[in-house]
Amino acid sequence: MSYEAPPPPPPPPGGYGAQPAYGGPAGPPPNNFLVPAILATIFCCLPAGVVGIVFAAQVNSKWAAGDVAGAQSAAAKARTWTFVSVGVGLVVVVGWLLLFGLAALSGSSS
């Protein structure tokens, strides 16, 4: 007489669904704007770009910890500061172009 273990019981109906491997919420995290923040820091405005990078770096860690609202808030702040950096950079470039254009015009008229 041989003894065989009974098969494992089936999972409960409904279950919990597929769980992410890292323990965070299901689905993709929000866009963290890290690459645009880095580019804005290099080419536009350093202080505002650094703030954008800091918030962008927080998005994935908050998402992995299960803080969905915190990740979305950090993503929104990263986006805002990236656009502020680009805006300040554009204002500075346009200001310099106007300044040098006016200086060239005033110098050539004398």
Mean pLDDT of the chain: 87
Band (pLDDT 50/70/90 cuts) for residue 10 is confident
* Boundaries of every domain in the chain: 34-108
Residue type, 72: Q
The answer to whether residue 101 scores a pLDDT higher than 60 is: yes
Query: What pLDDT was estimated at residue 5?
Result: 81
Confidence tier at 39 by pLDDT (50, 70, 90): very high
Q: Are 41 and 49 within 8 A, CB to CB?
A: yes
Contact assessment for residue 67 and residue 58, using Cβ atoms and an 8 Å cutoff: no
Alpha helices in the chain (DSSP H): 34-43, 46-64, 68-108
Cβ neighbors of 31 (< 8 A, separation 6 or more) are: 75, 79
